[in-house]
Structure formats: structure tokens, C-alpha cells
Amino acid sequence: MALPEQGVLLYYKFVTLPDPEATRNWFERSCSSLALLGRIRIAPGGVNVTVGGSMESLREHIDAVAGQELFQGCDFKLAACSRPMDRDAAASCGFDSLSVRLVEEIVTLGVFPSPSLANAGKHLSPEQFHGMLDQAGNLKQSNAVVLDARNIYETRIGKFCPPPGIAFLDPKIRQYSDLPAWIDEHAEQLRNKSVLMYCTGGVRCEMASAYIRSKGEEFENVYQLSGGIQRYLEAFPEGGYFHGKNFVFDHRISVPSLQDKTVGCCYSCKSPYDDYTPRLRCSMCRMLVLLCESCKASVPYLCELCAANRHSSEPVESGRDKCSKLRILCLHGFRQNASNLKGRLASLSKKLRRTAEFVFIDAPHELPLLYQLLEDETRREPTAQPHKKFAWLTDPDGPKASTQTWTPVQKSFDPMQYQKQTSGWSESWEYLGQVLADRGPFDGVLGFSQGAAVAAILSSLKDAGLIDIKFVVLCSGFVSPVLEQQVLGGLIDCPSLHIFSGKTGNDRQIACTESERLAGKFRPGSRMVVRHDSGHIVPTRPDYLEQYAEFFKKFL
């Protein structure tokens, strides 16, 4: 029997969501029921979606989303393609599971406050964008410039080649949040010009174009390619002014035009090459490195930016004596796993990559796989491949994990369930002791939700000499009954950073009063509290990052 045709679906929508968590739950239910895998980011200001599955399921998902009033007008980019070659290939780009996360912004420009999208550059259809290049080229000495808003690893394998006389600006940025600084530094090249911006699928040009236009009247003429390179190649299959391949963020890695030109080259030997399939990464900054088959044997890998900045050619090693970074052990929340938390902290770890190394582990208690039936019990059992879920503490009267199959439940989410999670500490403590011995030493422990409750328990053992850490970071934490048993009246004497929502109702899983009560268990002189205006997340806006950095620099 032939397998159903597979595909990939990409889309985004900037729209104010009245209830981001309810939207997250809707997307998780919808995509799970259709066995879709990939990444979905939900923010108060919109959604950003990259998912794969059968073409039938993807079309069904498009109909469901388009039927929602909030998401009418979405530009759905649907392409037929084969499945990932293997599980490793799927995992490398987030296509081995479904990840639906609440974030602050669906795309982070790295400036605060974020520019108003009402001031974004005018959208040009692929035909209009192409026509402006034609027209500017005919003028020979044009006042137009073409600006590539992508990261350097994307620009290596494909780019627009405008007609002679039109300036082409390639910022060669390591990450998107570096773009505002480049724009500030090169403002004279954009002043009083018609700026034609493009990126992979269009989403990054929205904020970047608004940021340029926010600089004043001399920066008004900013345009963005609607739908990005993806839509341009559909309109101009032979490539038009775009040469090479379009880097994409799913298992396809890149999409060529019909001409399939190779414009990239091996960083080492400079021979023509544009294959990112091996997904080699710089040993310093973890950026993708383009090395041909002959040269990839050279270890460690270095990207051109790290090499140009004269970084050491030695890869970062673990251990306090060999690494100037802080090593932080990260503990996930209840019914999550190491991969879930790694995804939640991806933006944070990227922005603190020069300061900290984050190490993620699974908890020792495996949980049953549950899905909630709707009132009419019509919800289909999820058909996605089960991924194990874990906990540090469990409810002694709760369901036990037996087989890795889905179990339906009729109960809705109990926001007070963490008060019943009192079992399993002895096994978790034994397991964590082994992790500390085998993979340590660690400078600190970071915990999220139930992981924060457990990190607090660990910090209470510091005075007894049972654990050697310098600090703890507690995100959306609460006071576990196990901690109440450990700390009999005294305050915990361990430097602590507490990150949680500062307003009742924002975090719908752990009330801010619970996180405040946990902060009260630590000595005031050595604790730092960061209250944010978001939900059950770790925010990474610049104003919050400055506060985190202030805490971490005490231990570097």
C-alpha cells in the first residue's frame, strides 16, 4: 500500500491574540489529531508555523485555520516533499515531534520596544518586486538598494543578483537580532533610497522594514517582498533575479529554482558547494558551516565570523577549569522532557551563548501519554509517534506509565495538580546525584515549573554540603511539599534568580503568588526577582536579558 503524499506547510500571521494560551491549546489539539509534526510559536502578537505531514492532513489544517476569524488572510505556503531521511535528520530541524510553544514574539528583532508593524514597508508581490528591479536596472544609475535580511548561513547558498547599478547589501549577520545594529551602522547607505528587502518567507522583513522606517522621513521608501523568496520562486520557477537555493527551516534544508545553480562554496577549499545536509556546526558559536565532503574531516569546524574575529580554534570544553562559560544544569517541567525545555530556552541560550552553557536532561519518572476527550467525545486519538514524558515528582494516586500508548482522559487540566506531586523524590535525588557526578561540575541549576520546585530542593541541600553549586535560577516555580519537609523554618542560603509572571492570571499554570512564596524561601540579600508581563515562559526581551546578565556576572 502506497504511503500518502507528504508535504510541508509554512505560514505566519501578525494578529493580536486575546488568549495566547487558548490559541496554543487549539493548535496543539488540531495538529496532534492530524499527526502533524514541526514547530509552532504562539505569541500575544501572532503565530509562526512550520509543520509537516500528509498533504491531506495539511490541507485539512489549512481549512481549520482559515475558518478562524483571527487568521483569515493567512498566506499558506504548502509544498509536496518526501519525509525526512531518518530520525536524526528529522530531529535536527524539529520534525521528529510537535512543539507548540508560547513565546514573547513570533520573530524577535532584538530591539525594545519592538517597532510598530503599522509602519512596516509596503508589500510587493513577486511580480512587482521583479518589475522594480527591471525598472531600476533600466535607469542604470538607480536610487534603489536590495537588502538581504537573512542570516549568513542562509545567504551563502542563494541570493538576489540585481541588475548593474543597483547596490546589493548583505549584512552577513550571525542572527536576526544582529540586524538592527547593522542598520544603525549603515544608515547612510539606506538614507533617501528605495530599499527592496527580502527574506526566506517574509516574516522577518515585517519588523526589519518597520525598524528602518522608524528612523525618519529619509527612510520612508522601504519595500518588502511579500511571501519572501518562497513565493518569488513560485512566480519565477527559472529563478529570475534569484540565483542559487533558498535555505528553509525544515527537513528539506534548501529549495532550488529550476536552474539549480550552485552559488555557494566550501569555506575551506572554496570549491563550488551548497549542501547543508550534514548540518556541520561551528565549534564556537554553533552556526552552520558549509564544508565539502573532502574538507569536513577537518575538526574542529570554524565559521568565517569566528575565524575573522580570531577566536581560538579549540572547541569549548566542559568543566570549570576549561570553560569560561557558566555551566547550568536545566530541569524541565512536569509532563515534559529535555527536548521540550531546550526548545523553550532556545532564544535564551542563543542570546547568552557567550555567558552560559545549558545542559538538558530527562527526569527519571516516566508518565503515561494522555489526551483529553472533548465533551462530545469526538476527538480522535493522536496518531503522532509518542514521545516520552517525564516528571521529577509524581502524584502517588495518579495514573502510572505502562506502555507507550495514548490514554484518553475526560478531566480537564487541574491547575492545582502540583500540590499532589509528592512522590518520587528519593529516586530523583539519586538520579540527580549520578548526573552531577558523571556530567558535572555545574555552576548552577535552572528549573522551569516543576523543575524550578526541584531546583529549590537542591539548593536547600547546599549548606549541608550535599551539592556544590553557586546559584539557582527558578522560572515559574512553586513551593513543593517536598521542599516544605526539607526546609523547616529557615531560609535557603543560596544565590537565586526568580523569573515569573508578575500579574495574577498571566501564568495560567502556576499562579504568581506561588512563585512569590517560593522566592520568600530564599534569603533576601542573595535573591533577585524578575517579574514579567507574559505567561508560562522565560522572556528574552532586552530589558529582561540585562537583568539576567547582571545576576550571572557575579559568578563568571
16 and 149 inside one domain: no
Residues 364 and 394 sit within 8 Å (Cβ to Cβ): no
Average pLDDT over residues 458-467: 84
Per-residue model confidence (pLDDT) at position 165: 79
The answer as to whether 320 is a domain residue is: no
Residues 242 and 225 sit within 8 Å (Cβ to Cβ): no
Per-residue model confidence (pLDDT) at position 182: 93
335 and 473 inside one domain: yes
For residue 321, pLDDT over 60 is answered with no
The predicted-structure confidence for 486-519, as pLDDT tens digits, reads as follows: 665 678 989 999 999 987 767 878 889 999 999 9
Q: Mean pLDDT in the chain?
A: 85
Per-residue model confidence (pLDDT) at position 414: 58
331 and 464 inside one domain: yes
Angstrom distance (rounded) from CA 524 to CA 527:
5
Residues 287 and 305 sit within 8 Å (Cβ to Cβ): yes
349 and 496 inside one domain: yes
The predicted-structure confidence for 272-314, as pLDDT tens digits, reads as follows: 999 998 888 877 667 888 888 888 876 667 777 777 664 443 4
Query: Distance between alpha carbon 130 and the CA centroid of its chain, in Å?
Result: 32
213 and 336 inside one domain: no
The predicted-structure confidence for 371-427, as pLDDT tens digits, reads as follows: 555 555 555 555 545 567 899 998 887 766 555 555 655 555 555 677 788 888 989
Angstrom distance (rounded) from CA 127 to CA 326:
50
Q: pLDDT class for 28, splitting at 50, 70, 90?
A: very high
Q: Which one of 75, 102, 129 terminates a domain?
A: 102
433 and 507 inside one domain: yes
Per-residue model confidence (pLDDT) at position 175: 81
Instruction: Identify the H or E element spanning 372.
Output: strand 369-372
Residue 281 class from Cβ within 10 Å (0-12 exposed, 13-18 middle, 19+ buried)?
middle
Angstrom distance (rounded) from CA 106 to CA 123:
19
Kind of pairing between the strands at 37-43 and 46-54: antiparallel
The answer as to whether 285 is a domain residue is: no
The answer as to whether 16 is a domain residue is: yes
For residue 269, give the amino acid letter: C
361 and 461 inside one domain: yes
The answer as to whether 85 is a domain residue is: yes
Residue/partner pairs of 137-142 with CB below 8 Å, 24 or more apart: 137/162, 137/163, 137/164, 137/165, 137/166, 138/163, 139/165, 140/164, 140/165, 141/165, 142/166, 142/194
Dihedral sign for Cα 491, 335, 32, 204, please.
positive
Q: pLDDT class for 4, splitting at 50, 70, 90?
A: confident
154 and 74 inside one domain: no
Provide the domain count of the chain.
3
The residue segments making up the domain with residue 69 are 6-102
Greater pLDDT, 107 or 67: 67
151 and 42 inside one domain: no
The answer as to whether 317 is a domain residue is: no
Average pLDDT over residues 265-278: 90
Per-residue model confidence (pLDDT) at position 298: 66
Per-residue model confidence (pLDDT) at position 316: 38
Q: What is the DSSP letter of 254?
A: E
Per-residue model confidence (pLDDT) at position 295: 86
For residue 444, pLDDT over 90 is answered with yes
Per-residue model confidence (pLDDT) at position 317: 38
Report, as residue numbers or ranges, the catalytic residues.
Answer: 199
Q: Would you say how long the chain is, in residues?
A: 556
For residue 322, pLDDT over 50 is answered with no
Angstrom distance (rounded) from CA 136 to CA 556:
53
The CATH number assigned to the domain holding 74 equals 3.30.70.100
The set of cell numbers assigned to 292 is: 565539502
Residue with cell string 502578537: 45
Q: Which one of 69, 102, 135 terminates a domain?
A: 102
The answer as to whether 304 is a domain residue is: no
Kind of pairing between the strands at 194-198 and 158-160: unpaired
Dihedral sign for Cα 390, 391, 395, 396, please.
positive
Got the DSSP string for 102-171? E-S-SS--S-SSPPPGGGPPEEE-HHHHHHHHHHHHHHSS-SEEEEE-SBHHHHTSEEE-PPTTSEEE--
186 and 144 inside one domain: yes
Angstrom distance (rounded) from CA 103 to CA 45:
10
The answer as to whether 408 is a domain residue is: no
For residue 1, pLDDT over 70 is answered with no
The CATH number assigned to the domain holding 438 equals 3.40.50.1820
Per-residue model confidence (pLDDT) at position 528: 94
Number of Cβ within 10 Å of residue 3's Cβ equals 8
For residue 363, pLDDT over 90 is answered with yes
Q: What is the DSSP letter of 299?
A: S
Per-residue model confidence (pLDDT) at position 301: 76
- Order the strands of the 122-124 sheet from edge to edge: 122-124, 222-225, 194-198, 144-148, 167-169
477 and 336 inside one domain: yes
The predicted-structure confidence for 163-174, as pLDDT tens digits, reads as follows: 987 899 999 888
Please provide residue 330's backbone torsions phi and psi, each rounded to the nearest 5 degrees: -115, 130
Angstrom distance (rounded) from CA 228 to CA 199:
5
Say what the pTM is.
Answer: 0.64
The answer as to whether 437 is a domain residue is: yes
Per-residue model confidence (pLDDT) at position 449: 93
Nearest to 447 by CA among 497, 485, 520, 486: 497
For residue 282, give the amino acid letter: C
Per-residue model confidence (pLDDT) at position 320: 37
The predicted-structure confidence for 183-192, as pLDDT tens digits, reads as follows: 999 999 999 9
Average pLDDT over residues 141-156: 90
The CATH number assigned to the domain holding 163 equals 3.40.250.10
Angstrom distance (rounded) from CA 301 to CA 268:
10
Q: Which one of 264, 286, 306 terminates a domain?
A: 264
For residue 53, pLDDT over 80 is answered with yes
361 and 227 inside one domain: no
